[in-house]
Amino acid sequence: MLVIMKNVMNDLYARDTSNKIKAVKQSTFKSGKYVGCYAPLGYRKSSADKHILEIDPITSPVVKHIFDMRLQGNGFRKIAVQLNAEGVPAPRTFYYMAEGRENPRNETPYWNDVTVKTILRNEVYIGHTVQNKTGTVSYKNHKQVDKPKDEWIKVENTHEPIISQDIWEAVQRMDNHPGRGRTGKSGMIALFGGLLRCMDCGSSLRYMRDYRKTTSGKEPEFKSYVCNRYAIGGKDACSSHYINQKALVAVVLADIRSKAILAQGNREALKEQILVRKRNASAERTSLLKTELTALEKRLAELEKLVQSAYEDKVIGRIPEGVCINLLNKYEAERAEKLEHKKEISTKLAASEENEKSVDDWLDLIQDYAQLEELDRATLVRIIQKIEIGEKREVDGHVERDINIYYNFVGFVEL
């Protein structure tokens, strides 16, 4: 009997201590202090305060390199293979090298797809501290498990970022479309792969290359794209929308450069112009939302008064308790519904007010490209969201076609 009691007591004590440690840990997480054993690759713990991360000049280029390879369209595994080929030590190995000692654990010094993926999804690289991602099963079982995302504790802007916001977003967008831009069995990515849309049927454009021109080992000149629906279904499905890559590069380069020059030389005017267009497009929507919001707020205020008078009526005996409770339940149900609706509308309104910030983000990005001479995949994915390709048509004896370029952050910029 006594033994059992003692066990129970010990158990209670262990549980209590474990809960206390957890509480201390959680409050440290919430302060944004870094508490991990190792600094993430690319960072080191500040010598002044080990809870603060600072950029490690030795390992941060590896992080940039990984994000860059991803932007070029490489898969996680391919990036790992490349890092191993370059002889880059895996993160943990780096850590022990810096410490000047052998890794006591018997871990592989090589990269794999999981280590690469973890880095590409870690918000630490844009300056945020996200902790509480893993935990133990219980105070008895110390096995580490991944925690659900809603239990993670994130504190923004706790240290200097290694990766810029636009690169981060471009890389996360690629996660949403894993196959984006992949061409053929080789897994090679076409320059515009996944970025082109047929203006008439909305399907993507397919990359084609003409091998007849690969003389003297040079790159084939005849890289082109056609409507995918046409490629599959022929003339009945759509028309070819054939476009030569070289021609398209020239159009896109010219567009990027001209907008960069405008952004540099006349930023405010350009910004205003884009905002006016955006506002006109969303003005009607916004005013509808605002009307709806005002009506909701009015009703919510009424409900509050109704609740109050229901209480008063009950207190002075004007209505029986049962009726009062019924009324209160009814009001509360309506109030909850209206509050939920209000939240939705506020989110929508906030999204349309985000415009100004996104235009600024775009101007910051585009202005660096006034002298852009060559288009590579990384630059394209960074700047451009998609390009719509119209079919060629004859106008007054010459050929015309529409090409609409949609930029990241702002979409189609019509000037």
Dist. CA 78–CA 75, nearest whole Å: 5
Nearer to Zn ion (CB atom), residue 131 or residue 204:
204
Q: What is the CB-side half-sphere exposure of residue 302 using CA atoms within 13 A?
A: 8
d(CA 193, CA 57): 34
Under a CB-based contact definition with an 8 Å cutoff, are residues 265 and 324 in contact?
A: no
389 interacts with Zn ion by CB under 5 A: no
Residue 217 has what DSSP assignment?
G
Binding segment for Zn ion (CB under 5 A), chosen from 224-232, 279-287, 342-350, 376-384, is 224-232
Q: Strand 384-389 to strand 393-395: parallel, antiparallel, or no bridges (unpaired)? A: unpaired
Q: Is residue 238 part of the contact set for Zn ion (CB under 5 A)?
A: yes
Q: Mark out the alpha helices in 266-376 (DSSP H runs).
A: 267-315, 321-353, 355-366
With CB under 5 A as the rule, give the number of residues binding Zn ion. Answer: 6
Which is nearer to Zn ion, 130 or 198 (by Cβ)? 198
Window contacting Zn ion (CB under 5 A); options: 39-47, 93-101, 198-206, 335-343: 198-206
Query: Could you tell me the smallest distance in angstroms from the CB atom of residue 221 to Zn ion?
Result: 25
* Binding segment (CB under 5 A) for Zn ion, from list 36-44, 193-201, 277-285, 304-312: 193-201
Of 238 and 380, CB closest to Zn ion: 238
Which of 227, 263, 274, 365 touches Zn ion (CB under 5 A)?
Answer: 227
Pick 228 or 245: Cβ nearer Zn ion: 228
| Nearest-approach distance from CB 330 to Zn ion, in angstroms | 55
198 is a site residue for Zn ion (CB under 5 A): yes
112 or 240: whose CB is closer to Zn ion? 240
Q: What is the DSSP letter of 37?
A: S
**Cα(173)–Cα(66) distance, rounded to whole angstroms?**
16
Token pair for residue 186? 């080789």
Task: Say how far apart CA 409 and CA 383 lie, in whole Å.
Answer: 9
Neighbours of 168 (CB within 10 A): 19
Strand ranges across the sheet with 243-244 = 205-209, 223-227, 243-244
Q: Is 181 left (phi over 0), alpha (psi -120 to 50) or beta?
A: left
Measured from the CB of residue 329, what is the shortest distance to Zn ion in angstroms?
56
In angstroms, what is the minimal distance from the CB of 227 to Zn ion? 3
Measured from the CB of residue 142, what is the shortest distance to Zn ion in angstroms? 58
> Nearer Cβ to Zn ion, position 189 or 205?
205
Give dist(CA 161, CA 269) in Å, integer: 31
Which lies closer to Zn ion via its Cβ, residue 223 or residue 229? 229
Q: How far is the CB of 172 from Zn ion (least distance, A)?
A: 29
Name the residue type at position 129: T
Where does this chain touch Zn ion (CB under 5 A) — which range of 23-31, 154-162, 223-231, 371-379? 223-231
Residue 162 touches Zn ion, criterion: CB under 5 A: no
For 405, half-sphere exposure in the C-beta direction (CA atoms, 13 angstrom radius) is 20
Instruction: Please tell me whether residue 303 binds Zn ion under the rule CB under 5 A.
Output: no
Nearer to Zn ion, 243 or 274 (CB): 243
Cα–Cα distance between 339 and 297 in angstroms, integer? 9
Is position 201 an interface residue for Zn ion (rule: CB under 5 A)?
yes
229 touching Zn ion, by CB under 5 A: yes
What does the alpha-carbon distance between residue 244 and residue 208 come to, in Å, rounded to a whole number?
A: 9
Pick between residue 153 and residue 226 the one whose CB is nearest to Zn ion.
226
Shortest distance in whole angstroms from residue 238 CB to Zn ion: 3
Least Å from the CB of residue 234 to Zn ion: 11
A 10 A CB-CB count for 278 gives: 18
How near is the Cβ of 404 to Zn ion at its closest, in Å? 14
Q: Which residues bind Zn ion (CB under 5 A)?
A: 198, 200-201, 227, 229, 238
